[in-house]
A and B are shown apart, each in its own frame.
Chain A
Amino acid sequence: MPEPMDASRARRLIEGCLRRELAPDAALPRENVDLVEEGVLDSMAWVSFLRALESSTGAPDLGSLLMGRPSSIESVLAAIAASDGPTVAELPVKTTAIADGPVEGVFLVSSGTAFGSRNVPSEEVDREFGMPVGKLRKRAGILSIARVAEGESELTLGARAAQQALRAAGCGAGEVDWILATSETHHSYPSLGAQLHSLLLARESCGVLDIGGACLGLLNALAAARAFLAAGQARTILVVSADVHSRILAPGRVVGEFGGLFGDGASAFLLRARADGENAYRLGEFQFGCAGQYAAAIRVASAEAGAPGGALEVQFDGEALSRAAVSRMEKVLHDAALRSGFALAEAAGFATHQPNPRLVELLARHLGVPVEKFPLIARTCGNLGSSTCGAALHTALAAQAEVPAAKRKPVFLASLGPGLLFGGGWVEPAAGRA
């Protein structure tokens, strides 16, 4: 935890912020004077002073801590001393190498998920793409695809998942220090993270970071959040993934064997530097890599100008990609098991990327674990891009919430992105090993 700010530094910051609200030649009031009651500041200036102070001290809860107390410098000093917010300016710079071993105290405290509200049978998708009816069901194991309805977007799905995660933790958007967002389909500005920040009404001093990696984006974001929290640069972080493929990978733009696999969805996770609540999970280590030899197995780019219907150029070697996907996910899951000290057989679940359900069945066979341990999001929703792994993790954790805390087990994570990027890790019950 950050060290408390010393009183002389706190006084200096208070004076600096107060001077910005007072007339230039005004004398500083005594510490016990009620600034509002005595008319030193009006209510707008008082709140403005507190917001400036929250920002400069890095303690976002000052306004809340001052409720029921006089609006005096004395009270503000006491609130700064009582705040457990990260006093960023005071922290020594420290680095935390992931390779150094597990970082103590980074916890996933709640999660949420949202899917496009239209559930489209795979046979209908076959027809849309001009494929033989039954192809997606037989070849890929996909029964239906979740697609957005009019009015739904990455933003609305992401916000829905985020609000679910916030409410599950009883956490206000004002408590969030960073929003880390990832999407493989949102390519406009303001970025998804910035739009989520506004829609959720996070406080202005909450940072935003949009993270790439396509289907690996969620794990990238979780790893970045873990580093921020471990370094003491944040107290609460919201990680959100949201993908709406149906407006990009549409019939006429891409072939059905590729575009027909994808659905629309979102996931969200609230991470903290302390294990709040009985459903908290400690975030384990992450491992990432890039198998460049498979870079050509999947490429998606805008077609040259003048191409009919805004077609996308999709290079998709399904067979090579399938082999690479299974081998890399198998590798990172075995590595995660070794580093965590948990056997794969002990896992409560596997939250992995799911290019299609058939590949998940193959991966389960290779690992020697029952396929039932993989929440099969892709079977009813399709491949949700960066949100597949998130929706699977949310589902696995929701199932674990029904189990007594002492009997809960870890969930392993693995995902992939074009490149071929890969990564994995695990979460384990905060209460300790079963």
Chain B
Amino acid sequence: MGPAFCVIGLAREAEKIQSLRPLPPRGKGWAHFPHRRGDILEGSLLRLPAPPPHVEDRTSTRGLRKVGEVGEAEIVPFLRQAETAGSLAELFGCKIRESRRGAGLYAAPGEAQRSICGCETQNVRLELCGNELRASLVLPSGEALRDLPMVDRDWNEFTEAALAGERGANRHARLERFFNSRFHNKVICCPHHYIRLGLTRPFHDRCWVMLDTLFPLPSQEWLEEF
């Protein structure tokens, strides 16, 4: 994604809650987005013809205005009412393939029907691999998804903060130990644990599966525990 990032929101249309991706007037990513997770925004979003799988794209035609906010625990029940899947085949309405070397999963751009989907998980593991934050998870179907790029902004900022030089020695080992131990109780056992997967924009004819959102979000206080 480079320095820009993507924003995913939920919109209620009639009785249905669905994910959408507000885009800036130009380009596909936001260099600066002046709102926080959980903000309730009002604005005008235009649905432009978008090739699948990024059918959730909406162009922002006038400023988004904050009209309220909900807490983290309140967001997840809404996410559970939006697009969800329990198995690999249901995620994006297409076959998910594994890269030839087995690291990462992708969908063919012409096959995927959507690019955002939430799911419950039986287990999630975060791992540092050569300066990259990767996630592996198990779907309710028992299928394991490995080496997904972790693009959740809060979790990446938490990781950066954990590895900041002023935190002293053995920072990587300490963070890995946190991921291997306390993470389980804090995240997987949390009542509002939920994840949202996404597909990247097509790149060399592949839309890679990534972990867009991991609830609960990390707390800065956790940094003091390791």
Q: Which residues of A contact B (CB under 8 A)?
A: 20-21, 36, 42-44, 46-52, 62-64, 66-69, 71, 159, 163, 166-167, 170-175, 195, 198-201, 203-204
Contact = CB atoms under 8 A, between A and B. Distances in A.
A201 B137 CA distance: 7
Contact of A47 (B100, B104, B144, B172): B104
Given A64-B129, A174-B127, A44 B138 contact: no
Given A48-B101, A172-B179, A204 B128 contact: no
13 contacts: A44-B149, A47-B103, A47-B104, A48-B103, A52-B101, A64-B128, A67-B131, A67-B172, A68-B172, A167-B184, A170-B177, A195-B142, A204-B102
B142 A51 contact: no
Contacts of B123: 159, 199-201
A117 to B, nearest CB: 16
A384 B64 CA distance: 60
Given A48-B104, A64-B176, A174-B125, 17 more contacts: A21-B101, A42-B203, A47-B130, A47-B134, A47-B147, A48-B99, A48-B147, A51-B102, A51-B103, A51-B129, A67-B128, A170-B181, A172-B127, A174-B180, A199-B122, A201-B136, A204-B102
A170 B180 contact: yes
A318 B203 CA distance: 67
Interface in B107-157: 122-125, 127-132, 134, 136-138, 142-144, 146-147, 149
Interface string B181-225: 100100000000000000000010000100000000000000000
B11 interface: no
Nearest to B100: A20
A173 B131 contact: no
A199 B129 CA distance: 20
A44 B99 contact: yes
A159 to B, nearest CB: 8
A204 B147 CA distance: 10
B180 A63 contact: no
Contacts of B144: 198, 201
Interface of B: 99-104, 122-125, 127-132, 134, 136-138, 142-144, 146-147, 149, 163, 171-172, 176-177, 179-181, 184, 203, 208
Given A170-B180, A199-B138, A199-B142, A63 B128 contact: yes
A51 B130 CA distance: 10
A331 to B, nearest CB: 42
A174 B143 CA distance: 17
From B99, B131, B132, B136, name the one whose CB has the most chain A CB atoms within 10 angstroms.
B131
A363 to B, nearest CB: 38
Contacts of A195: 142
Contacts of B125: 172-174, 201
A66 B104 contact: no
A163 B172 CA distance: 22
A12 B134 CA distance: 27
A67 B102 contact: no
Nearest to A68: B172
Which one of B124, B130, B163, B171 has the highest number of Cβ atoms from chain A below 10 Å of its Cβ? B130
A181 to B, nearest CB: 15
A67 B103 CA distance: 18
A67 B184 contact: no
B190 to A, nearest CB: 15
Given A44-B208, A47-B104, A170-B180, A63 B142 contact: no
Contact of B131 (A66, A203, A204): A66
Contacts of A199: 122-123, 138, 142
A353 to B, nearest CB: 31
B138 A201 contact: yes
Contacts of A198: 138, 142-144
A171 B180 contact: yes
Nearest to B179: A172
Contact of B163 (A68, A172, A174): A68
Q: Which 6 pairs between the two chains have the least Cβ-Cβ distance?
A: A63-B129, A172-B180, A48-B103, A66-B130, A198-B144, A201-B125
Contacts of B128: 63-64, 67
Contacts of B103: 44, 47-48, 50-52
A185 B131 CA distance: 43
A343 B101 CA distance: 54
Contacts of A21: 101
